[in-house]
Amino acid sequence: MATAKAHTNIALVKYWGKENQELIIPQTDSLSLTLNEFYTTTTVNFDDQLTSDQVYIDKQLLDQQDSKKVVHILNLVRKLSGINYFAKVDSTNHVPTAAGLASSASAFAALAGAASSAAGLKLSSRDLSRLARRGSGSATRSIYGGLVEWQKGTDDQSSFAKPILEDVDFPIEMLAVLVNTKKKKISSRSGMQSSVATSPYYDAWRKVVAQDMTAIKEAIKAKDIDLIGHIAEENALRMHALTLSADPGFTYFNAETLTIIKAVQDLRNNGINCYYTMDAGPNVKVIYDRMNREKIVTKLSNIIGHDRLVVSQPGPGIKIWNE
Ligand code: ADP
Ligand code: DP6
Ligand code: CO
C-alpha cells in the first residue's frame, strides 16, 4: 500500500493536441507552473482478496466506464512489476474535478506515484513522468515542482518532463478565479482531438509554440515576470483560437470569463501589471508579481466575490510514502 500527493500545474505554454493518442505523445513541447494550493492525494493497495479494481474519487465508487483511465495505469504497473492482484484506489481531489483547473494533472501524477510504489517499483522521476503521461498528458509535468517543461519526444521513451526551475526564486504568483467549478461538457481529451483534426490553424499553432518555448525560457532565466505573463497570455489566446476555429467550433469561455479578462486589461491600463491564462474550462488564472497581489485581489473581489479567488504560490513536486 502506498500514498502519493501531487500538485496541479497550469501551463504557460499549452499542450493542445496529440501526435499519438494511445501513448499520449504530444504535438508540441509545453511548459507549466506547479501550484501549491491545488493537489490530489491518492492511496493504492494491491490486494489478493479483490476480484476487480475498485476506484474511489472523493469517496464515490466509479463504475467500469469511468474507471477506465485509472485501470489503464494499473494495468501498466502490473505489467512493469509482475504483480497480478487487483487494486483499491482511493483518491481525493483538493481541486475542482474536470473544470479546467488541471485535476487530471495532479490525479494521474499521484496515481502513477502511488500505484508504482504500492507494487514495489522504485521508478526514477523520469520514468514516473512517463507513466503519469499515459493517464493524462498534463500529468507528465506534475511530477516536478516549480517551472517544468514537457519535451514532446518521439516515442514512449523520449516523451517526459524536466524541471526548469524547481525552487522558483522570484516573486511570481498565480490567482485562480473560480468562475465555474462544475464539470465541463467537452473534456480536454476530446476538445484537443477535434482541434487537431479540424482547425485550419493547427500548423500555425505548432510554430507559435516552438517560438513561445524559446522565448519563455529566456524570460524565466531573466526572472522577467511581465514577459513570462505576456507570453503566457498570448499563448492561451492562440490555443483558444483553435477551439473557435474547429468544426464544429466551440469555446470553453463563458460570459464571466470575458468579464475577468476585461478586468485584467483594466488593471494593466491602470499600471498594475497582470496577465491571464485559461485552460479547458471557463476559469481564469492571473499571473503577476506578488507585490501587486492586494490591488488585483481587491479589484477582482469587487467583481466576482472574495470567496471565488484562490491565491497560489509555486508548488512542490510529488511526494510518495509507503504504509
Ligand atoms: P481537468 O481540467 O480537471 O484536468 P480533464 O477533462 O482533463 O479536466 O480531466 C478530467 C478527468 O480526469 C475526469 O473526468 C476523470 O476522468 C479524471 N480525474 C480527475 N480527478 C481524478 C482522480 N482523483 N483520480 C482519477 N481520475 C481523475
Ligand atoms: C488546456 O492533459 O487534461 O490544460 O492528455 O487528454 O488527459 P489529456 O488532456 P489534459 O490536457 C491539458 C490541456 C490544457 C493545457 C496544458 O495543461 O498544457
Ligand atoms: Co486535464
Summarize pLDDT for 281-291 with one digit per residue, the tens: 999 999 999 99
Q: Work out the average pLDDT over 196-223.
A: 98
126 and 216 fall within a common domain: no
Q: Work out the average pLDDT over 42-66.
A: 98
Return the pLDDT at 251: 98
111 and 257 fall within a common domain: no
pLDDT score of 33 more than 90 = yes
Distance from residue 99's CA to the centre of ligand 3 (Å): 8
65 and 162 fall within a common domain: yes
CA distances from 129 to 5, 32, 113, 139, 152 (A): 14, 14, 9, 7, 12
What cell numbers appear for 238 in the block? 492562440
Return the pLDDT at 320: 98
Residue 255's domain spans which residues?
172-312
Count: domains in the chain: 2
pLDDT score of 240 more than 90 = yes
247 and 279 fall within a common domain: yes
The span from the CA of 110 to the CA of 5, in Å, is: 6
pTM value?
0.98
The span from the CA of 155 to the CA of 11, in Å, is: 22
Q: Work out the average pLDDT over 209-234.
A: 98
pLDDT score of 306 more than 90 = yes
Distance from residue 98's CA to the centre of ligand 3 (Å): 7
Judge whether 118 lies within some domain: yes
Q: Work out the average pLDDT over 72-94.
A: 98
Q: What is the interface pTM, i.e. ipTM, of the complex?
A: 0.99
Closest CA to 62 of 105, 9, 98: 98
125 and 10 fall within a common domain: yes
Q: How many CB atoms lie within 10 A of CB 259?
A: 15
Distance from residue 188's CA to the centre of ligand 2 (Å): 6
82 and 203 fall within a common domain: no
18 and 107 fall within a common domain: yes
107 and 231 fall within a common domain: no
Residues with CB under 6 A from ligand 2: 11, 14-16, 24, 30, 102, 104, 136-138, 188-189, 279-280
Last residue of a domain, one of 122, 150, 167: 167
Distance from residue 279's CA to the centre of ligand 3 (Å): 9
Q: Work out the average pLDDT over 187-204.
A: 98
Residues with CB under 6 A from ligand 1: 40, 57, 69-70, 91, 93, 97-104, 107, 136, 187-188, 279-281
Last residue of a domain, one of 167, 198, 214: 167
32 and 142 fall within a common domain: yes
First to last CA, the chain: 6
Distance from residue 54's CA to the centre of ligand 3 (Å): 22
What cell numbers appear for 77 in the block? 504497473
Last residue of a domain, one of 112, 136, 167: 167
83 and 189 fall within a common domain: no
Ligand 2 pocket check: which of 130, 140, 188, 284 to mutate, most ligand atoms within 8 Å of Cβ?
188
- Sign of the C-alpha dihedral, residues 226, 228, 231, 234? negative
146 and 178 fall within a common domain: no
Cβ distance 196 to 243 under 8 Å?
Answer: no
Domain of residue 188, CATH code: 3.30.70.890
Residue of minimum CA distance from atom 8 in ligand 2: 136
Domain of residue 94, CATH code: 3.30.230.10
Counting atoms of ligand 1 from 1, which one is nearest the CA of 58? 23
237 and 97 fall within a common domain: no
Q: What is the pLDDT of residues 126-183, one digit of tens each?
A: 999 999 999 999 999 999 999 999 999 999 999 999 999 999 999 999 999 999 999 9
Q: How many CB atoms lie within 10 A of CB 27?
A: 19
Judge whether 45 lies within some domain: yes
Return the pLDDT at 323: 80
Give the pLDDT band of residue 247 (cuts 50, 70, 90).
Answer: very high
